[in-house]
Amino acid sequence: MPNSPTAPRVSAPDLPPVLEPREAARRADLLAAALELTGTVDLAYATLEQCAVQADADSIELTGATLLDVDLPEPRIASLRLRNASIRRLRITGGRIGTLDLGDARVAELELRDVRIDYLNLGAARAEDVDVVGCAVRTIDIPQAELTRVRFQATRSDEVDPRGLRAKDVDLRGLDALSYLDVQSLRGTTLSSVQVQQLAPVMAAGLGITVTD
């Protein structure tokens, strides 16, 4: 029997019992802060450590930011940009996000639970210990990403783009995806037998095999 993929090692953000209300600002240094974000928010290149974030916002810019032990419950965000961010222990639970952009980010310990996302981008990201549970993600883009110990559970998606993916211990058995743009890029992932049967025609076509009865 083949070995099962190693499960992600994800822990809850380590938050202090008391958090101080703070204002968001570009390049801010926020420690043990409680943030309430609305409208358009610029936190690019900021540092958020041991923070709890409430968000009902059009756009939150966190490009180049550092996030350590951050909790984001029930967000309602049209666009959340974390490109080139450095993330360790980020938990997002519930709510809805239009675009969650983690392109080129460095991610360790990310939990997405019961979140509705229109577009999830992990293109060229380096991510390890990621758990995606009970989510609905319309489009998942992971081209050129390097993923280690990533697991999907009870999650559905319309389309997945894995072109150029480098995967180790990536468990897709709990991902109900309608289509993959390039099944040959799924090397290193784990699929269920049912998923392989569903993908068989696409795999055969990619190998130049004609299947007919």
Cβ atoms of 19 and 33 closer than 8 Å: yes
Q: pLDDT of 33-63, one tens digit each?
A: 999 999 999 999 999 999 999 999 999 999 9
Q: Kindly state the average pLDDT of the residues 2-30.
A: 95
Q: How confident is the model at residue 206 (pLDDT cuts 50, 70, 90)?
A: low
At which residue do the structure tokens 């390890």 appear?
A: 128
Q: What is the DSSP string of 10-50?
A: -------S--EE----TT-EEESEEEEEEEEEE-TT-EEEE
Q: pLDDT of 165-187, one tens digit each?
A: 999 999 999 999 988 888 888 99
- Does an H or E element contain 71, and which? strand 66-73
pLDDT value of residue 205: 67
Q: Kindly state the average pLDDT of the residues 200-206.
A: 68
pTM for the structure as a whole: 0.93
Domains (range + CATH), the chain = 20-206 (2.160.20)
Which residues on neighbouring strands pair with residue 103, listed in sequence order? none
Cβ atoms of 75 and 93 closer than 8 Å: no
Q: Write down the mean pLDDT value for the chain.
A: 94
Calculate what percentage of the chain has a pLDDT beyond 90: 84
Query: How far from 39 is each of 57, 76, 113, 120, CA to CA, in Å?
Result: 5, 11, 24, 21
In the three-class reduction of DSSP (H, G, I as helix; E, B as strand; rest coil), residue 203 is classed as: helix
- Does an H or E element contain 61, and which? strand 47-61
Calculate what percentage of the chain has a pLDDT beyond 70: 96
pLDDT value of residue 203: 67
pLDDT value of residue 1: 44
Q: pLDDT of 96-106, one tens digit each?
A: 999 999 999 99
